[in-house]
A and B are shown apart, each in its own frame.
Chain A
């Protein structure tokens, strides 16, 4: 509710949009209906605000008018209305309206833009960052004060300079032309209800203020007002922050696109911390994370140990190899330095024979894997990628998952069904011939959803062990499949009976993504209703709802110790939540596009998130900071990322039809100590002909691909977008795509 809606009295102020008011259209600036209001005050003071002096004055007027109306003094009333219309609420006479009194937003902005471009190279990068919030709020001001045409032309002339970074926001703002839209638009609301945080170095900020004050009359005052009322400028000492160093400046000269600093942006958050309030005492604190491996259940560990000892006796390790027991000990003791969550926090059902087998198999695979050592002398590992290409899909594939044992693949289709193939082309075995009377085939369909399938996920599983007697054999294959759909449901399918077992209802908008917990049992889903929900697979109600994102939750994933989940949203943030408490513990900002894929590293220390601008960001979880930005993918979405077993290599695949391998260890620019490397190699433009000084708007979009130095290799496919890449436990990469001729 806006102020004018809540206070009905003085006539011309509230009924401003009526067509009959002397025929003055809203485009005519001479008699503006909302004259004094827009620029300096926050645009939506709620009607329930405590009565201030201004408020009581207004109330008094209203009381008098009501009184006059009641008594029938209509002429006096009309006179009072007329006179009070020309007054500010607190009684001061309104400034005369005319061409001059129009807020000089546009002039101010242009002035500032030119000034920034002519400024010293040293300050330019940071000052440029100020332009975006000023642009947004100037535009809002023009819209709220009913200058739709001005607003539009202002937007059109200036939007290009922000397109590379703020594509989504620009697209959201573009259709706005009326104040009602501002109230309605979710992104605009975000900007209006929060202060935009900008980081400037001290000299740059003082420079800016001096300039604005000197140009007070030509529009500087308007800009100044915007800065003070809508932005919160954080000043930093130049020397203290290496972001402002000369080297960093030089790095940026070549790159035509800069990226927002971590602490810049709308939620005004404190880097890493999920706390978004203003309390400075809370600002710096980061909740302590327990990133260690979830300890194994005592009984399970004993069973696994016994089983491994038996295996060792049966098949002694090759010379130079660890025994399985030794390998197992190494695997569990690895992370002693980290605090681990206790099993009491996250209840699991008691372990079964299947769990034992899976754990044993994991140890065996871990020992026999293709080891990716830390890189030596700048040489990346040579990975092998097995690609599965789907044909005749007509762009209908929406999601894909490979089972952990690499036996089957599930593909979700836009036509609402899921299809499962065995990867080796053999017929899928019927687990229970009585229930299952369909003819043998190498694929099965799962039909039940009523909207495009948005995600499929196999239950964690392991390859069947060989050389086990028939009685001891426990099936370790994937028995359950989860799928989410735009029909707002999540479904659990049994891969024994090929039936839908459970429909999980809870989301009230389309469900965009889901992910199994690392040990099964739990899963998390995220959807268009801006929530992520944690479920236990044997209950039809969600156990936790994670609320806080400002936009759709696009991607979800689990931490490998099952104690945390990550959610990524269209608001360009990634949040980390504790499963046991349901609280947000970290928040990461820095993406400039919608996040399309995310995975936590297997050692639990890093998170990789990828967006549709072709950018992959690595986050360091414990300090909550951005580790580096890796670019190389074309625009259009990176559909999947996956970590190697050692967490030293990341592989990604996306809409540009390439599978790319990335080096996780920091590139040569890593700085030691507190502040971890802000931007990895700024990358270099590939088309040498392009002159960096020409404006970036003229360049073709497709040419703007930058490949950062930490890409180890890129493998193009034949016109096949890659929907899924996955490292197996043995460090082989499995990729799935669809050939779209």
Chain B
């Protein structure tokens, strides 16, 4: 079958008076017509190429017909694109024709004259100066030409050439806006602003829930991680922002449809900062800062639980960071607090037993100094509370053996030796006999 419909041949034959044309003949002729049309197109393509164009116009067809000694088709103008109208001869028989506008003569006469096409002119500019393309308005911006393949890449490529020509790596680095779809970009912006919206709790929660539940956000994970890191670095004085980005981190970790494993390494430093940072927020919002540390600690515990299987160095690294802070007397109590709860949440009672208890005796002195100092007292109190609490966590892990004993003086003195007088007195006051035994045993 030819593309050219044999029926057309029959129509033409009938118009010149040949009524019954054999099927074979029409088919044969149709093929021939098709061939001739292709011939004309071939010639037209030649004209197009020599007119240094990449678009075939009706003008080219006219020139091709002229070159082939055929009378050109008149009435087709190349300055405006052809518009085809569609009419129907019957069901499934569309007929296409060139739409010819009906022009009202009256209107044509009274219409203002069309705009005269502008004069051809030229401007000059530097496309390149000593091998580097200057960034002036006449030259395309890096973004415009980004999709062009300009530089040779791969093993054979000469990297020096690329660097010298000024279009080195800079141009190919993907920018957020261009890699992501518009929707995702929009989503990213919305969620970020919702999280940081100070006025509306609703926005914050909906942003949080969306990030926590919605699937299909995977492309955005690196950008969220980056966003978190950026906020943590730049907003250390603002507890609200820090808390919100911790929420964000939590939502990311909790989202079941996301694969966050590769980004944990970059997420953890931000969380650690919120846990054991020297100073979080201003001096006024002490309570908030400790809440933030608690939150960071719980987040760390979650991460340690969830991802320690994929990164076996994760837990030791976290523990080491916390312990280092804990043993550093120059750090403020806030940091110590974070370190203690961090140790507990990452390592559990085992870590407390092995790493915290042996150091408590020394630490008590520092703590005592802090409790005496009026300015540092609230923070020191918190640390004390945290220490007692983490020690208390040991209890639950041991079976409850004895009952009804009070703390004897002997026990008390041993306890003081072990954990220092302040904590010991707290324990004794609470009447935690079992706990005292456990601590002494460890």
Contact = CB atoms under 8 A, between A and B. Distances in A.
A379 B130 contact: no
Contacts, number: 229
Contacts of A713: 128, 131, 161, 164-167
Nearest to B79: A394
A386 B127 contact: yes
Nearest to A380: B161
A663 B157 CA distance: 13
B2 interface: yes
Contact of B38 (A175, A656, A718): A175
Contact of B124 (A423, A454, A682): A423
A124 B378 CA distance: 80
A658 B165 CA distance: 14
Nearest to B139: A718
Interface stretch (A207-215, A616-624, A703-711): A703-711
Interface stretch (A395-403, A515-523, A693-701): A395-403
Interface stretch (A177-185, A216-224, A359-367, A496-504): A177-185
A636 interface: yes
A385 B128 contact: yes
Interface in B48-86: 49-55, 59, 63, 67, 79
A404 interface: no
Nearest to A413: B120
Contact of B131 (A380, A392, A399, A637): A380
A398 B140 contact: no
B49 A637 contact: yes
Interface in A676-708: 681-686, 705-708
Nearest to B158: A378
A713 B140 CA distance: 15
A346 to B, nearest CB: 29
B143 to A, nearest CB: 11
Nearest to A19: B22
Contacts of B158: 378, 709
A715 B32 CA distance: 47
A712 B125 contact: no
A356 to B, nearest CB: 32
Contacts of A686: 149, 153-154
Contacts of B154: 683-686
A594 B49 contact: yes
A149 to B, nearest CB: 7
Contact of A684 (B1, B130, B156): B156
Contact of A716 (B59, B121, B140): B140
A390 B49 contact: no
Interface string B129-146: 111110000111000110
A709 B152 contact: yes
Given A414-B59, A711-B161, A382 B130 contact: yes
Interface in A282-309: none
B34 A177 contact: yes
A140 B400 CA distance: 96
A707 B167 CA distance: 14
Contacts of B32: 178, 180-181
B50 A554 contact: yes
B8 interface: no
B35 A19 contact: no
B99 interface: no
Contact of A391 (B37, B52, B122, B129): B122
B151 interface: yes
A681 to B, nearest CB: 4
A184 B55 CA distance: 28
Interface in A405-439: 409, 411, 414, 419, 421, 423
Interface string A593-637: 010100000000000000010000000000000000000101011
Contacts of B35: 175-178, 181, 184
Interface residues of A, number: 97
A634 B118 CA distance: 30
Contacts of B37: 175
A451 B39 CA distance: 21
B206 to A, nearest CB: 35
A717 B119 CA distance: 22
A380 B164 contact: yes
A157 to B, nearest CB: 15
Given A178-B32, A707-B150, A655 B122 contact: no
Nearest to B32: A178
Q: Is the interface of A mostly helix, strand, loop or mixed?
A: loop
Nearest to B146: A716
A14 to B, nearest CB: 17
A528 B63 CA distance: 13
B333 to A, nearest CB: 52
Contacts of B52: 397-399, 637, 639, 655, 721, 723
A652 to B, nearest CB: 13
A547 B151 CA distance: 41
B362 interface: no
A149 B120 CA distance: 52
Interface in B162-219: 164-167
Contacts of A663: 161
Nearest to A24: B24
B28 interface: yes
A172 B42 contact: yes
A393 interface: yes
Contact of B54 (A149, A636, A733): A636
B403 interface: no
A509 interface: yes
Contacts of B23: 25
Given A392-B118, A717-B127, A380 B165 contact: yes
B377 interface: no
A715 B128 contact: yes
B42 A382 contact: no
A659 interface: yes
Contacts of A384: 126, 128-131
B184 to A, nearest CB: 19
A170 to B, nearest CB: 12
B46 interface: yes
A175 B160 contact: no
A139 interface: no
A382 B133 CA distance: 10
Contact of B151 (A409, A655, A668, A711): A711
Contacts of B67: 486, 509-510, 528
A19 B18 CA distance: 15
A708 B122 CA distance: 33
A454 B63 CA distance: 13
B90 interface: no
B241 interface: no
Contacts of B46: 528, 552, 570
Contacts of A714: 148, 150-151, 165, 167
- Most chain A C-beta atoms within 10 Å of own C-beta, residue among B2, B35, B52, B154: B52
A244 to B, nearest CB: 21
A382 B156 contact: no
B399 interface: no
A398 B153 contact: no
26 contacts: A17-B28, A19-B25, A25-B23, A172-B42, A177-B35, A181-B31, A181-B32, A181-B35, A390-B121, A392-B120, A393-B120, A394-B79, A419-B120, A452-B63, A486-B63, A552-B46, A632-B150, A637-B49, A655-B54, A663-B161, A683-B154, A709-B152, A709-B157, A712-B131, A715-B128, A718-B138
Interface of A: 17, 19, 25-26, 148-149, 152, 171-172, 174-178, 180-181, 184, 377-395, 397-399, 409, 411, 414, 419, 421, 423, 451-452, 454, 486, 509-510, 512, 528, 552, 554, 570, 594, 596, 612, 632, 634, 636-637, 639, 655-656, 658-659, 661, 663, 667-668, 681-686, 705-718, 721, 723, 733, 735-736
Given A715-B127, A715-B139, 4 more contacts: A389-B125, A509-B67, A681-B152, A718-B140
The 7 nearest A-B residue pairs measured at CB: A382-B131, A684-B154, A713-B165, A175-B38, A382-B130, A681-B156, A387-B127
